[in-house]
């Protein structure tokens, strides 16, 4: 109860006004009302984000963001001696990407509408290679609007000094702490997971923390369903994420069962990467068509024109290929046991140190000496 009272006192009092025992709870205390409102109503991300953690935000507000430790060649963390880095180069580069994305969206996107995939004449006359090619190109043309919005939001934060993530091994400042996408990795993805890991990055990290790592069963299904709820109420969102569950699980099964056969020699690995790149791009495009169309009828019209072929293939893969058991839950249980053991050891060490200190004080008083015993060190 005392800890709870201290936490609530900390919400409305500055750290300088707290007692030493209250400062000990500073890491665990709730943010103050001003900090909470500042983080929630952060004007830099009010339009398009990107989502950022409270820890990173408060470090930026308090001016601690640029004083980060950089790993050196010997593996130790060393404080970088440079002055606060300038974001000018990063902002200029991202604004250039915004301009190109906007230009691409206003020109090419209008020439290659996604809706043409469900055009009756196109469905009746186009061959399968033509359908697959147009599907990929039309969804490729639909992505620059997301590139524009997220990159502009990232540039706005960088211009204010937020987003610095230390220096690379060459001493170059990195401004991708809250970046929401990596365009090159998206377009060159050779797996479903690689695409998802580089698309809407901050939201994906949030979903991983609040859902995937806490789910006791079917974490992939629960995470995709939560993502659909987070996006909104359009039926196309739910159809996309339900399809995404099938595609993710099937892609994982194929990768686990076949990838190790294609790692050597390099020519075979290159062939494997080309095949998986083409398969990933078509699968991603097939999956997200309802996300763009939004309505349920045109979405089913599109999938019907493809005879639900990728849905059927994914189900067959899951039924026929052996699925390796995930080590996530086992690792989680092991981490819990290790954490409990660590806490127990720390408590025992703390009790031992306190007992030793008390014993020393009694001995010192009895002997009436001026010497002091040094505390135990681990």
Phi/psi at 162 (5° precision): -100, 135
Cα gap 4→27, rounded to integer Å: 14
Residue 231 annotated in active site: yes
Q: Could you tell me if 199 and 290 are in contact, meaning their C-beta atoms sit under 8 angstroms apart?
A: no
The CA R_g of the chain, rounded to the nearest whole Å, is: 27
Count helices and strands in the chain by DSSP H and E runs: 17, 2
The residues near 21 (Cβ < 8 Å, ≥ 6 apart) are 6
Which two three-digit tokens encode residue 306?
Answer: 């493809």
DSSP calls for 165-229:
--B-TTS-B---TT--B-HHHHHT--SHHHHHHTBSHHHHHHHIIIIITT-SS-HHHHHHHHHHH
The residues near 89 (Cβ < 8 Å, ≥ 6 apart) are none
Catalytic residue among 80, 231, 257, 364: 231
Residue 67 annotated in active site: no
Catalytic residue among 157, 180, 198, 200: 200
Cα gap 274→143, rounded to integer Å: 21
Q: Which residues are catalytic, by number?
A: 200, 231
């Amino acid at each position: 109860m005392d800890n709870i009272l201290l936490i609530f006192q900390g919400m409305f009092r500055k750290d300088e006004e707290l007692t030493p025992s209250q400062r000990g709870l500073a890491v665990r205390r709730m943010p103050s009302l001003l900090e909470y409102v500042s983080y929630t109503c952060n004007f830099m991300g009010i339009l398009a984000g990107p989502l950022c953690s409270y820890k990173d935000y408060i470090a930026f507000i308090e001016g601690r963001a640029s004083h980060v430790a950089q790993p050196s060649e010997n593996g130790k963390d060393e404080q970088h001696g440079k002055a606060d880095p300038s974001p000018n180069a990063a902002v200029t580069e991202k604004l250039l990407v915004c301009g190109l994305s906007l230009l691409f969206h206003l020109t090419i996107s209008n020439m290659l509408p996604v809706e043409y995939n469900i055009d009756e004449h196109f469905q009746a006359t186009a061959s399968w290679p033509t359908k697959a090619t147009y599907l990929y190109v039309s969804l490729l043309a639909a992505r620059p609007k997301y590139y524009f919005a997220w990159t502009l939001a990232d540039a706005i934060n960088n211009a204010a000094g937020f987003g610095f993530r230390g220096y690379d091994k060459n001493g170059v400042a990195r401004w991708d702490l809250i970046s929401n996408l990596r365009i090159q990795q998206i377009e060159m993805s050779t797996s479903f997971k690689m695409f998802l890991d580089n698309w809407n990055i901050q939201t994906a990290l949030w979903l991983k923390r609040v859902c995937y790592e806490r789910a006791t069963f079917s974490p992939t299904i629960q995470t995709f369903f939560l993502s659909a709820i987070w996006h909104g109420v359009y039926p196309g969102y739910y159809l996309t994420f339900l399809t995404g569950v099938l595609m993710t699980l099937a892609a994982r099964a194929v990768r686990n069962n076949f990838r190790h056969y294609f790692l050597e020699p390099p020519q075979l690995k290159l062939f494997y990467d080309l095949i998986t790149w083409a398969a990933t791009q078509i699968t991603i495009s097939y999956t997200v068509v309802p996300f763009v169309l939004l309505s349920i009828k045109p979405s089913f019209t599109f999938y019907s024109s493809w005879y639900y072929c990728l849905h059927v293939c994914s189900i067959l893969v899951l039924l026929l290929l052996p699925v390796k058991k995930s080590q996530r839950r086992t690792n989680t249980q092991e981490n819990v046991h290790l954490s409990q053991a660590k806490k127990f050891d720390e408590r025992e060490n703390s009790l031992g140190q306190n007992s030793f200190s008390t014993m020393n004080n009694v001995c010192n008083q009895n002997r009436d000496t001026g010497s002091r015993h040094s505390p135990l060190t681990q």
